[in-house]
Chains A and B, each alone.
Chain A
Amino acid sequence: MKTIYVDNNATTQVAPEVLESMLPFFKDLYGNPSSIHFFGGQVTRHINVAREKVAALLGCDPMEIVFTSCGTEGDNFSIRGVLEAYPMKKHIITTKVEHPAVKNTCEYLAKRGYFLTELSVNKEGMLNLDELRESIREDTGIVSIMYANNETGVIFPIEEIGQIVKEHNIIFHVDAVQAVGKIPVNLKNSTIDLLTLSGHKLHTPKGIGAQFIRRGTKIRPFVIGGHQEKGRRGGTENVPYIVGLGTACELAMKNIEKENVYVRRLRDKLENSLLANTPNARLNGRKTMRLPNTSNLSFEYVEGEAILLHLSELGICASSGSACTSGSLEPSHVLRAMGVPFTAAHGSVRFSLSIYNTEEEIDYIIEQTPPIIKTLREISPFGRKELKESLK
């Protein structure tokens, strides 16, 4: 059975070029970059090159990049590091649709004396910027808002948000884990103070991330230890992975156009076809201003996990915001925040593509999905009447 991988917002295939660039650091080049001798020193040079490549993709100074272990660490570092640096600031603003790395960090802090405002979204997944303006307080320490949503792909107007945040001199953190590599992100002349990215969403192996910290931003380290990363993140550098991330960022710069033309075309083909050929299917999230690779569809009256397992039997790997897939009993907090009705939220499926997907793969999904939905609807006690009516 051929694997058709359309779950790239969860993780991505390691690019062959990335793996290739990492291998020497698992073998001969094992030195510690902190060592004085030539053997460690030659490794330091490779880290610096990787740092330059990450900075080039983001349009920032290499000195503003700190390597971390993953996106979750970057989010924790940003939010907790800033609040610790500003002990008088007791208020956090975020949104209701953040990734758990931000959401749960903020909720944890809210239990420890911080005040938390979670901005709501409308049914298209968009923020109301007036709500943001009204939420800002004297003691707001950080505004943490994602660049693009992992479930729906909806992109927030980050610079517009940043303008409002910076008018009040508040630190602005952006979780850009889903955005970097899929859409152009440029930090030059940006309002963003802190930006978090994760390697495995842009074709490195899991276990590496990078954190942009604008020069002059007050932040305390989250991982306390040695002097690595200029004292901003302790711990011996994960050299092979840092080098791999450098290569991945270099590739992402090259491929960003392919992402936005080729991947977008495949995504649109998949989405339009499934919406047209499956009754009672709907798109979750706004159609425009969306990541070019993501499509979140709901098939009413069927349950997401059941769809995924049927797809999986055919080698198709996707994901769902249904309750049963997550281990929790409630459907995705993102879909609920958008007011997606339960009938649709339980039956949501997310397809997230990458440049490695082919036209044949997409055609295969287009061919195989509608019969699965039909079979499951025949088992389901719901929606018979509604479906009949919509088919008239």
Chain B
Amino acid sequence: MWEYSEKVKEHFMNPRNVGEIPNADAVGEVGNIACGDALVLYLKIDKKTDKILDAKFQTFGCASAIASSSALTEMIIGLTIDEALKITEDDIARYLDGLPEAKMHCSVMGRDALEAAVNKYRGEKIEATHEDEGKIVCTCFGVTDKKILRAIKEHNLKIVEQVTYYTKAGGGCGGCIPEIEDLIAQVHQEEATIAKSEKEPKPQVLTNIQKIKMIEEVINTEIKPMLQKDGGDIELIDIEGDKVLVALRGACSQCVGAVTTLKNFVEKKLQEYVSDSIFVEEVKG
């Protein structure tokens, strides 16, 4: 059973501002029924002052989703749009005396609905600046890299599980977990550029012998141990110029994620340590 605060329970049992606003000035929709939660937010806005006169919601979801929606409407009524946009998911969680970490995505949904509503409202008023929404990383829940990067930065998330708590990404089939790991690494690498500069730079020009030796070493010290942890293994078959031919063994050989492993892990490691132009191909058998 989840540990919900009294305030979450109270807002869940007696949600405020439930329903639709006919002729709303702005409507924001997020989530869908397949995901297990969805929120439609209706706003009545004073066009002169940009003040939110009324807010109502409809939510499909669990207790924390309903309580977060209720809290959001209570928080934004009376604010101007700009003031309301400053509300973060943490503010919503704080208003409710906290949410279980695994339920943080419920408060994120509230903020996203508000943003969606405001974007629509402003889009009607002024020509919308079509923002790049990013590329979908988690196809199960339709989460983009932009959203994931933002969550990692804002909440200093360190592991995939935390990203799932905040964004739901990675909570379905798990196919995008390597990509999320990369995004986490990307953010923390950006933050730790100083530490990185201490690492040996990649050699600029390599002889064939040097290259082969380096590839062998990286496979043996960096790649093999990681794969073996999951019951898999890898064997270096041949090197033709920049093409590295490998065979996957053990659990890897039957793994549906093998192609991803090859491209996202093996190839990346070799590029990182040896040369950017390296590409990896799998040899069967």
Contacts and interface: CB of A to CB of B under 8 A. Distances in A.
Interface of A: 110-113, 115, 301-306, 309-310, 313, 322-325, 327-331, 342-343, 346, 378-382
Contacts of A322: 36, 62
A342 B38 CA distance: 13
Contacts of B140: 329-330
B168 A329 contact: yes
A362 to B, nearest CB: 23
A309 B12 contact: yes
Top-8 shortest CB links A-B: A329-B171, A324-B62, A381-B58, A305-B62, A342-B34, A323-B36, A380-B60, A381-B40
A303 B65 CA distance: 10
Contacts of A346: 33, 36, 60
Interface string B37-48: 111100000000
A379 B18 contact: yes
B107 interface: no
A343 to B, nearest CB: 5
A306 B103 CA distance: 14
Contacts of A310: 13
B254 interface: yes
A113 B59 contact: no
Contacts of B121: none
A306 B63 contact: yes
A329 B141 CA distance: 9
B66 interface: yes
B38 A113 contact: no
Nearest to B40: A381
A20 B164 CA distance: 47
28 contacts: A110-B251, A110-B254, A115-B254, A301-B60, A303-B37, A303-B61, A304-B62, A305-B63, A306-B66, A309-B63, A313-B13, A322-B62, A324-B64, A324-B103, A328-B171, A329-B36, A329-B164, A330-B140, A330-B172, A331-B36, A342-B34, A342-B36, A343-B33, A346-B36, A379-B59, A379-B66, A381-B40, A381-B58
Interface residues of B, number: 38
B15 interface: yes
A111 B230 contact: yes
A382 B38 contact: yes
B250 interface: yes
B231 interface: yes
A80 to B, nearest CB: 15
Contacts of B36: 303, 322-324, 329-331, 342, 346
B102 interface: yes
Interface of B: 2, 9, 12-13, 15, 18-19, 29, 33-40, 58-66, 102-103, 140-141, 164, 168, 171-172, 230-231, 250-251, 254
A324 B31 CA distance: 14
B38 to A, nearest CB: 6
Contact of A111 (B63, B172, B231): B231
Contacts of A110: 251, 254
B231 A381 contact: no
Contacts of A111: 230-231, 251
Contact of A306 (B12, B33, B171): B12
A78 to B, nearest CB: 21
B58 to A, nearest CB: 4
A306 B61 contact: yes
A111 B141 CA distance: 26
A380 B59 CA distance: 5
A303 B254 contact: no
Contacts of B18: 378-379
Contacts of A304: 62
B62 A306 contact: yes
A177 B141 CA distance: 34
Given A303-B65, A324-B36, A380-B60, 7 more contacts: A304-B62, A309-B63, A324-B62, A329-B168, A342-B34, A378-B19, A381-B59
Contacts of B250: 113
Which residue of A112, A325, A378, A380 has the most chain B CB atoms within 10 A of its CB atom?
A380
B255 to A, nearest CB: 8
A309 B14 CA distance: 13
Nearest to B102: A327
B174 to A, nearest CB: 10
Nearest to A331: B36
A49 to B, nearest CB: 38
Given A113-B231, A306-B12, A379 B58 contact: yes
A301 B62 CA distance: 12
Nearest to B168: A329
Contacts of B172: 329-330
Contacts of B168: 329
Nearest to A346: B36
A113 B58 CA distance: 48
Nearest to B252: A111
Contacts of A303: 36-37, 60-62, 65
